[in-house]
Structure 1
Amino acid sequence: KDDLVIDQFDDAAPKYCPKPHTAWGFKTMTKNIGAYGKLSCHRPNKLDEEHREAVQWVNGSGQVMTEKYKDNGWRSDLKTIGYDLLQLNHYALRSAESFLIKRQRGRALHVDRSIGINYWVRMDWGGNRDVTIKRNVPRVRAEMARLFEDAELKRLHDEGFAWHRNKATELHNTPEFKELFAQALETKLTEMERVAFALTLDMES
């Protein structure tokens, strides 16, 4: 569907969800003062010891996190979780058809790991409605309308959407992906089954 992701999907994991380990993963907003030698997927890494005292890590509520985060860690825990000032939604799956395309593309980070039904079950953690981000929809739509006044930008958007739709159709006609699509739609787990499955994957990863 050619529409805003933030307006299409509002089924979310529970706010209190310390497991699986992927549930409370965070991204980092940072000012580059030369303190870290590498920018990674979730956070900067390789802290320069000369900058240690200048670095301060705070959570989404603006509260100071524990000292260990200066060196490593990419997820919150019971002591550091907080959303009072900032929340970043992660749409890992979106639609089942988008999942097929993601499966074909492969992972952006762990390129040696495949995306299969285990990934779907782990990331399809719903049952809780979260519409907090939808307060931004009117502003986003207004900005998109402004951007699409540029004919070239609108053409590129339409071509990108058409490519995505055609790729989904192509994959539906491929036995491997057709089977995966059916598996994803047919997999119905109770909350307890989902927790057990996710914890098993936690121990394997």
Structure 2
Amino acid sequence: MRHTAILCVRNEGAFLLEWLAHHRAVGFTDFLVFSNDCQDGTDTMLDRLQAMGVLTHLRNDGPYDKGGIQFTALKAAAKHPLVKKADWILPLDIDEFVNIHCGGHTLGALHAAVPDATAITLTWRLFGANAQVHYTDAPVLDTFTTCAPAVMYWPWRAAMFKTLYRNDGTYRKPGVHRPRDLNEKKLRHAQWVDGNGDALPDQFKTRRIFSNYGRDNYGLVQLNHYPLGALESYVLKAARGRAVHSDDMLGLDYWVERNFNTDTDTSIQSLAAPRAEAHAAIMADADLARLHTAAARWRKAEFDRLLQLEPYRALFGRLLMTPPSQPLSRQAAQFLVHHANRGKRG
């Protein structure tokens, strides 16, 4: 089977090769990668990887439709031959890593565990900054091992998922969190399951983008999400803007809702050996090794540049003063949900 991952990147060359190595080890056969407005050489890296036959690279330089950069890329992806011939499709971000807990920890093992599923929700597990202040050129998966507990009651973003779905015509277009453009005639054949392999109600087939609160959704598979990185990296992310709304500068609100470090999860190291082998094969290319080093150096230089500007210097200072986030109790979360529901009714 052909498993196609769709990725959008900007100035993330320092993380690209680890991400690729991991997902090749997981079992993805094809990668369709869009880049835009890169200053760190990410686009040049992608050109080299395409020449090596590792992935397919498209520049997403605009103009962009009203949905923004990422939506424009996904709209183009829906028409691309690589997506059309895929058996399974999963749109991902560079800070998301598929983590399969069953069998040999590959996509094949996941499908064997839920053979009738046509869509599998991969719920985020949020990994915090792990007290890392300075960016270092070290693997993300080795550096950031502290995370939110398996059971979270708040915020709702902690329960968001990405959807690995069969390309059987039920959905005509990929979306950020779930496939889009539903074919109503095929909907009755769709079988959605969660990360535990449990069947999901029909509302997930048409509209849901987050799993239910207050339960462990990670029995078979989870999506390790590293949205923050070290404090220095977060300043660069704030300057880049949101993936969907790139003009919105990130602040402490985004940080506080994701910087959970109460638990430790190293289960993704189940693929450490094949990931290292895949990474070594890629880094054996002298051009890629040089480009990776240049991208890592760019991050340090860009942080130094940004800290000369008041908004980013102030943000970095606030990050230094902000302690790790604490998960809310069920009671506190219920209080917030109660008032959220009142607000919807009002």
TM-score range, shorter chain: 0.7 to 0.9
- Cα distance in 2 for partners of 1:78, 1:13 equals 13
Q: Does 1:156 align with 2:291?
A: yes
In the TM superposition, residue 135 of structure 1 has moved relative to its aligned partner by 2.8
Contact conserved, 1:66 with 1:80, CA < 8 A, in 2? no
Task: Write out aligned runs for 1:1-205 (5 A).
Answer: 1-78=136-213, 82-111=217-246, 113-188=248-323, 191=326
Percentage of matched positions with identical amino acids: 32
- Cα distance in 2 for partners of 1:23, 1:70 equals 20
Q: Partner of 1:82: helix, strand, or coil?
A: coil
- Give TM-score, length-normalised by structure 1: 0.87
Q: Partner of 1:23: helix, strand, or coil?
A: helix
Distance of aligned partners of 1:108 and 1:78 in 2 relative to their CA distance in 1, 3 Å threshold:
closer
Distance of aligned partners of 1:131 and 1:145 in 2 relative to their CA distance in 1, 3 Å threshold:
same
Q: Partner of 1:108: helix, strand, or coil?
A: coil
- Cα distance in 2 for partners of 1:38, 1:112 equals 25
Distance of aligned partners of 1:78 and 1:191 in 2 relative to their CA distance in 1, 3 Å threshold:
closer
- Cα distance in 1 for partners of 2:205, 2:274 equals 35
In the TM superposition, residue 139 of structure 1 has moved relative to its aligned partner by 2.7
Distance of aligned partners of 1:76 and 1:85 in 2 relative to their CA distance in 1, 3 Å threshold:
same
1:70-103 CA distance string (max 9 Å, x none): 1011111059852121111000101111100110
- Cα distance in 2 for partners of 1:10, 1:141 equals 18
- Cα distance in 2 for partners of 1:189, 1:164 equals 24
In the TM superposition, residue 173 of structure 1 has moved relative to its aligned partner by 2.4
- Cα distance in 2 for partners of 1:90, 1:12 equals 9
- Cα distance in 2 for partners of 1:121, 1:4 equals 23
More helix by share: 1
Gap runs ≥5 in structure 1? none
Gap runs ≥5 in structure 2? 1-135
Contact conserved, 1:43 with 1:74, CA < 8 A, in 2? yes
Contact conserved, 2:178 with 2:209, CA < 8 A, in 1? yes
- Cα distance in 2 for partners of 1:127, 1:134 equals 19
Contact conserved, 2:236 with 2:302, CA < 8 A, in 1? yes
Distance of aligned partners of 1:138 and 1:173 in 2 relative to their CA distance in 1, 3 Å threshold:
farther
- Cα distance in 2 for partners of 1:12, 1:68 equals 29
- Cα distance in 2 for partners of 1:173, 1:79 equals 43
Contact conserved, 2:227 with 2:258, CA < 8 A, in 1? yes
More strand by share: 2
Contact conserved, 2:150 with 2:217, CA < 8 A, in 1? no
Q: Partner of 1:83: helix, strand, or coil?
A: coil
- Give TM-score, length-normalised by structure 2: 0.53
Q: Partner of 2:269: helix, strand, or coil?
A: helix
- Cα distance in 2 for partners of 1:162, 1:34 equals 44
